[in-house]
Amino acid sequence: MSTYQLLYVSGATRPMLPADIDAILAASRANNARLDVTGLLLYADGTFIQILEGERHVVQSLAQTIRKDQRHRNFMVLAELQAEARAFSDWQMGFKRLDPKLKDDQAVFELSRQALQNRIGDADGGMMLEMVLAFAGRDFLAKAS
């Protein structure tokens, strides 16, 4: 059975402290477990990059809730795909704080920053999703919770 994947970027409306991120993750993991949604959240320098996967109507409804969340600005869906299987089936919400000073993290950081600045849409054919998935698999799949 295939699964729907949605990738978005957004900017934080204020600086996110570690406690803020912990609260977001706790709420996301509880909600996602209830909704049978899995995914990955990346955060760097005021930018969120998130992949959500599950049933199309559930993920789209969740994305609308996030879009309305006062902690987000410039919410933008970059890609929507149907995949054969979930990429993050073991995680209600995997997480990594990206560091733009680290070379491996810098490419993700720069692309997400460019996406926000240029307000690109999903016409990239899923390139952003593939890049984030490749980064996730190489760098921290074993470390994520």
Q: Write out the residue range of the structural domain in which residue 17 sits.
A: 3-139
Task: Read off the pLDDT band of 143 (50, 70, 90).
Answer: very low
Number of domains present in the structure of the chain = 1
HEC-encoded secondary structure of the chain: CCEEEEEEEEEECCCCCHHHHHHHHHHHHHHHHHHCCEEEEEEECCEEEEEEEECHHHHHHHHHHHHHCCCEEEEEEEEEEEECCCCCCCCCCEEEECCCCCHHHHHHHHHHHHHHHHCCCCCCCCHHHHHHHHHHHHHCCCCCC
Residue 32 lies in a domain: yes
Residue 91 lies in a domain: yes
Residue 67 lies in a domain: yes
The tens digit of pLDDT for each residue in 5-62 reads: 998 888 899 988 889 988 988 888 899 999 999 988 888 778 888 889 999 999 999 9
pLDDT attached to residue 111:
53
Residue 145 lies in a domain: no
CATH number at residue 57: 3.30.70.100
Residue 144 lies in a domain: no
